[in-house]
Amino acid sequence: MGGGKKKQTLSQIEKAQEKKPEKKKETKSAGMGTEKKAPAVVVPDLKSEKIVEEVKRLKVLTPYTVASRFNLRLSVAKDFLEELEKKGAIRMVSRSRNVTIYKSLD
């Protein structure tokens, strides 16, 4: 039944290599031109009015939106939003097991 594939002779291998066109290997990043930077681990300064005002301008605040906006890690964004809530700049609207949603106080 079945069995394995027969081993090719040297002349058969040479003919197969002649028929194959040579392929050039290209890296994916060569065409892109953009480099990814690692997200920051340091929490943004809560005393900075510029950062707080930019956060207040967002309609819905989730850790993901803040992490994307300020290039932070998700855990750092969660801590940042909790600190803003303690400060009184934002209010928690909803919390589930996966995500917490905040709203800015206008």
- Residues near 44 by Cβ (< 8 Å), separated by ≥ 6? 51, 70, 72, 80
Q: What letter would DSSP give residue 9?
A: P
Pairing of strands 90-95, 100-104: antiparallel
Number of helical H runs and strand E runs in the chain: 5, 2
Domain boundaries 43-104, corresponding CATH code: 1.10.10.10
- List the beta bridge partners of residue 40: 72
Rounded to whole angstroms, how far apart are CA atoms 106 and 102? 13
* pTM given for the model: 0.59
φ, ψ of residue 34 in degrees (nearest 5): -110, 145
pLDDT single digits (tens) 6-32:
899 999 999 988 888 776 665 555 555
- What percent helix, strand, coil does the chain show, rounded to 5? 45, 15, 45
- When pLDDT is cut at 50, 70 and 90, the band that residue 94 belongs to is very high
Q: Where are the domains of the chain?
A: 43-104
Higher pLDDT, 40 or 10: 10
